[in-house]
Structure 1
Amino acid sequence: MRRKKILCYLVLVTLLLTVFITVYMHLELGYVVDIKYQTQSIPQNLLEYGLWEPLEQYAHLSYKRKEIVARQLTTNNCKCEKEEAWLNGLISRHSVTELELVFNAAERQEVKQRREKEYQHFLQRMKTPADAVLIAKANSPLEYPMQGVEVRPMKTILIPGLSLQAKSQQLFEVNLTANLGTFDVAAEVEGVKIEGEGEMHLSLSSSQVDNLNRQLQFVTYTNTVFNPNTADTVLFKTDGHQAAFTIRIRHPIIPKLYNVRNLSGYNISALVTIATKTFLRYDKLRQLISSIRKYYPNVTIVIADDNDKPQKIDGAFIEQYFMPFKKGWFAGRNLAVSQVKTKYLLWVDDDFIFASDTKLEKMVDILEKTTLDMVGGSVREVTKYSATFRHKLSVEPGGKEGDCLQIHRGYYHEVEGFPNCVVADAIINFFMARTEKMWQVGFDPHISRQGHLEFFIDGLGLLHVGSCSDVMVDHASKITMPWTKKSESEKMYKQFRYVRASEDDGNLQNKLFYFKNRFKCIRSS
C-alpha cells in the first residue's frame, strides 16, 4: 500500500512538472507571427468611387455641379503641365520639372517599378487600420465617418459617409458645424435648401430624405486655419440627435525611399553603413576595423571620435568625425548616425570583433522582408557565452505623480519564416536599423558616459524591434591579469566610463526619466 501511495505521488509530481514545463516553454518560446510585407493598394479618392454616378436609389435625382467648389477638391491625379495665367496684365508662367526625365529611357521603367515596391513597403510600415475611413451606421438617425477622414492644410475634401436615416416627416434637416474650416457643396441637388455655403455652419433641409442624402454626398470641408498637425471636431445634428467626428488636418508623410538596384543577393556595401563611437580605445577600434575588412572590405565605416588626443584612422571607406573632448556617448551616436547615407545602418561598439557568423545579409534579409525597423544580433564573450538583451517595455498611467515604466525580460513572439528571430522592445547594443527611423528617434545628448535602454524608451511606439540570436559578433576580452600593466588610456577610460553616483552626476539618467519622460518609478523583472 505504501509503495502504491509513493508511486501515486511520483506520478502526480511528474504530471505537475510536465504541465509547468509545458506552460513555461510556451511562455518563453512564445508564438509565431507573420510580419512580412503584404500586398496592399493605395486608397483612391472618393470621386473615383462614382460620386457623379450615384447608387441606384439616387439615380433619379438631378443635381447641378458647382464647378468653383468641385475644382478645389483634392484628387489623386495632380498634373505636371505648364500653366499660364494673366497677372496684372502680364502672363505668369509656372515652371515644371518632370523628374522621371533625369533617368534615361532604358532604366526609367525599372526605376519606376523599384520605387513603387519601396513605396508600398513604406506605406505598410506607416499606415494602420486607424487610417481607414469607417462609417458609423445610423443607430441614431445620423450616419457619419468615425475615423480616417483627412484634409491637407488649407485644402478641400468631400466628407464621406454623411447620411440621415429618418422616418417619414414633413421636413428633414441637418446641420454641420466646424471650428477650423468651412463647408460648401460640390453640386446642388434639386429640392434641397442650402444655407451657410462657405461658412463654418452649414444647414441642409428638404421634404425628401433621398434628395437630402444625395446632397450630403456633395458636402465639402475646406481647412481655413493653418496648423499642419491638428484635427477639427465637426458637429453633425438633426432634430433631437447630435454626433461628433474629427477631420484630421496634416501634411502627407513624405516617404524617404532608397534607390538601390535589385541584384542577386544583397549588395551590403550599397545598403549598409557601419557606425561606431570611440573614446580612448584606438587599439580596440583598429581591431574592429580589421575584422570588418576581413568580411566586408567595401562597407563604409563612420566613426564619431571625442578623444582628447585624436588619432587619424586611415583606410578606404572610412569617415572619421572629431568632436570636443568627452562630448559623450549619445552625442557621438547622434553624430555618427547623422552621416549615414545608406538605407540601413549597423551599430557596433568600438570593442566588438566581426567573426564568420557576423552575417549582415541575415539582418538585411529580415528588414527587407518584414515591417521591422530594427533587428539586433547576439554579442559573444570570450567565455563563448552570447547575450541578446531582449526586454519588453510598457508604461502604466499613474495620474498627477507621473507614470510607471515596466521593464520585463523576454520577448513577444517569434517571426514567421525567420528561425531564431523574435520581436521585443529593447535589444542588445549590436543592431541594424532603418536609417530614417534612427534619425526620427535620436539619442539624448545629455547621456554622456553610460546609457542604452534610454534610447529604446524614447523610441517606444516609434520602433518595431526584432532580435535574431544567430547573427553574432564577438566582444573583445575584458579579462586582465593582475600582473598586466594598464596603459594611461585604459586608466582614463575606466575613470570616465564607470563613474560613481557622487561623480559627474551619475544619477542623471534617473533625473531624465523623472522629468523628461514623466516617470515616477521604474519596475524591472
Structure 2
Amino acid sequence: MIKIPDITFCIKTIHRPWSCHRLVESLSKHISYPKIIVVDDGRPVRRFLSKYPETASQCTVIHPEQTDVGVGIGRNIAVDAVKTDYMFLLDDDHVITENLNLDRLCDRFDKNDIDILGVRQGSGGRPTMLSKLMNGQRIWIHRGETRRNGYVAWCDMSSNAFLARTKTIRALRWDEAIKTFEHWEFFYRAKLAELKVAVAGDCFVKHAHVESEDYRRLRKRAKYRSMGLRKHGFHSMRFPGGGVVRA
C-alpha cells in the first residue's frame, strides 16, 4: 500500500508566487508533512522563495541557472530530484482540498493495472482520448475512455494532477525543447509507449487559475504547440469543442 511518505509532490512555477504559496499551504493543511519539490525558473524578483520564504521553507526549492527554462526542463528537474518511489505532479494554480481523497487514490493505484492515475479538476480533467484524423495528419483531443472499473476510467490523457511511479516518469520525461503546450505531447508519447493512463473520477483538486500579464505572455507561445505537432507528423489539432489549430 502506498503511504504518504512514499510520495513527493512536484510543482513547476514561474511568476505566480502567490499561487504557489497557496498550493503549498493547501498541501500542508490537508496532508501530514508532505514532501514537496518546487522548481521556480522565474526572475529573482518574482520568485516564490523571495516572496514567501516561510512557506518555501516547507519545500525543496530549486532555481535553474537560467530563467524561463520552460515546463519541460522544469518538470524534469523536479522529477530527477525526487527520492521517493512515487511522485504526484501538480500545477502551481492547483489547490488541495479534502476532495483529493489521496488515500482512496493510492488504493486505486495499488489495486489496478495503472502507470499514471490522474484526478479531476473540478468540472475538468475528465478521461480524454488522443485520436488521429485526416489520414493521421490531425490529432483529435476528445472525451472518451477505453474501459472502466467503477470510478476509474482508462484513457489516453488525464489532467496535470496525477500520481505515478517516479521511475515511470523519469523514463518518459517531458520534451525539454517544448516550453509550453506540453500537456498533450507528454501523454501522446505515453500512449505510444503503451503506458496505462487512467482517471479517478471521484478524486479532485481545485483548479483556481491565477492570471498575470507576464505569465500569460510566457504561456501562450504558439510556436511550441507547432513544435509538438510537427514532431509527431501532425499538421493540425482539433480540440474537444471542435476548434482547430494548425502547426
TM-score past 0.5 threshold: yes
Change (3 A) 1:280 1:444: same
Cα distance in 1 for partners of 2:227, 2:83 equals: 34
1:267 paired to 2:8: no
The residue number in structure 1 matching 2:80 is 338
**Distance in 1 separating the partners of 2:72 and 2:11:** 11
Letter matched to residue 289 of structure 1:
V
Paired letter, 2:201: S
Structure 1 match to 2:228: 512
The alpha-carbon distance between structure 1 residues 478 and 300, as it changes in their structure 2 partners (threshold 3 A), is closer
State whether residues 2 and 110 of structure 2, in contact with CA within 8 Å, keep that contact through their aligned partners in structure 1: no
Contact 2:89–2:161 (8 Å) recurs in 1: yes
**Per-residue deviation at 1:298?**
1.4
Return the alpha-carbon distance in structure 2 between the equivalents of residues 494 and 521 of structure 1.
Answer: 23
* Unmatched runs of 5 consecutive residues or more in structure 2: 241-247
Q: Give how far 1:496 is off.
A: 2.1
Matched, 1:411 2:140: no
Letter in 1 for 2:30: Y
Residue 16 of structure 2 aligns to which amino acid in structure 1? R
Q: Choose from 205, 212, 217 the match for 1:473.
A: 205
Change in Cα spacing, 1:394 to 1:450, as seen in structure 2 (3 Å) is closer
Task: Return the letter of the residue paired with 1:471.
Answer: C
Give 1:297's aligned amino acid: S
Partner-residue secondary structure (3-state), 1:468: strand
* CA–CA distance in structure 2, aligned partners of residues 474 and 445 of structure 1: 27
* 3-state SS of 2:113 partner: coil
Output the CA distance in 1 between the equivalents of 2:19 and 2:144.
31
**1:290 aligned partner:** 25
- Determine helix, strand or coil for the equivalent of 2:106: helix
CA displacement at 1:395 relative to structure 2: 4.8
**Which of residues 58, 61, 64 in structure 2 aligns to 1:320?**
61
Show the counterpart of 1:393.
Answer: 130
Q: Is the 8 A contact 2:180 2:225 kept in 1?
A: no
Instruction: Name the amino acid aligned to 2:107.
Output: D
What's the secondary structure of 1:460's corresponding residue? Answer: helix
**Matching of residue 374 in structure 1 with residue 116 in structure 2:** yes
**1:473 and 1:521, CA in 2 relative to 1: closer, same or farther beyond 3 A?**
closer
Match of 1:440 in 2: 171
Please give the TM-score of this superposition, normalised by the length of structure 1.
0.41
Q: What's the CA shift for 1:350?
A: 0.8
Relative contact order: is structure 1 or structure 2 higher (C-alpha 8 Å, sep ≥ 6)? 2
Aligned to 1:482: none
Cα shift at 1:389: 3.6
Q: How does 1:125-524 map to 2 (within 5 A)?
A: 266-269=2-5, 271-309=6-44, 310-312=47-49, 313-314=53-54, 318-323=59-64, 324-380=66-122, 386-395=123-132, 404-415=138-149, 419-462=150-193, 463-476=195-208, 478=210, 490-499=212-221, 506-514=222-230, 516-522=231-237
Instruction: Provide closer, same or farther for how the CA distance between residues 316 and 282 of structure 1 changes in structure 2, counting only shifts above 3 A.
Output: closer
Quick one: distance in 2 between partners of 1:478 and 1:321? 22
Q: Give distance in 1, aligned partners of 2:171 and 2:133.
A: 24
Distance 1:316 1:368, change over 3 A: farther
Distance 2:93 2:138 in 1: 34
Secondary structure of residue in 2 paired with 1:357: helix
Number of residue-to-residue matches in the alignment: 232
Larger radius of gyration: 1
Q: 1:299 to 1:326 in 2, by over 3 A?
A: same
Residue 302 of structure 1, CA deviation: 0.6
Residues 1:362 and 1:447: Cα distance change in structure 2 (over 3 Å): same
Change (3 A) 1:449 1:512: closer
Which residue number in structure 2 is paired with residue 96 of structure 1? none
Which residue does 1:113 correspond to in 2? none
Q: Residue deviations 1:159-178, cap 9 Å, x none?
A: xxxxxxxxxxxxxxxxxxxx
Tell me, in whole angstroms, the C-alpha distance in 2 between the residues paired with 1:511 and 1:491.
Answer: 24
| Structure number having the greater helix percentage | 2
The superposition leaves residues 164-206 of structure 1 with CA deviations (integer Å, 9 ceiling, x where unpaired) of xxxxxxxxxxxxxxxxxxxxxxxxxxxxxxxxxxxxxxxxxxx
1:15-30 equivalence runs, <5 A: none
2 CA distance for matches of 1:348 and 1:335? Answer: 14
Letter aligned with residue 366 of structure 1: R
Change beyond 3 A, Cα 1:357–1:496 = same
1:287 deviation in Å? 0.9
- State the alpha-carbon separation in 2 of the partners of residues 422 and 317 from structure 1: 34
Residues of 2 paired with 1:523 and 1:492: CA distance? 27
The amino acid across from 1:277 in the alignment is K
CA contact (8 A) 2:76 2:174 kept: yes
Alignment CA distance shift 1:412-1:339 (3 Å): same
The TM-score normalised by the length of structure 2 is: 0.84
1:292 deviation in Å?
0.6
The structural deviation recorded for 1:437 is 1.1
Distance 1:392 1:278 in 2: 27
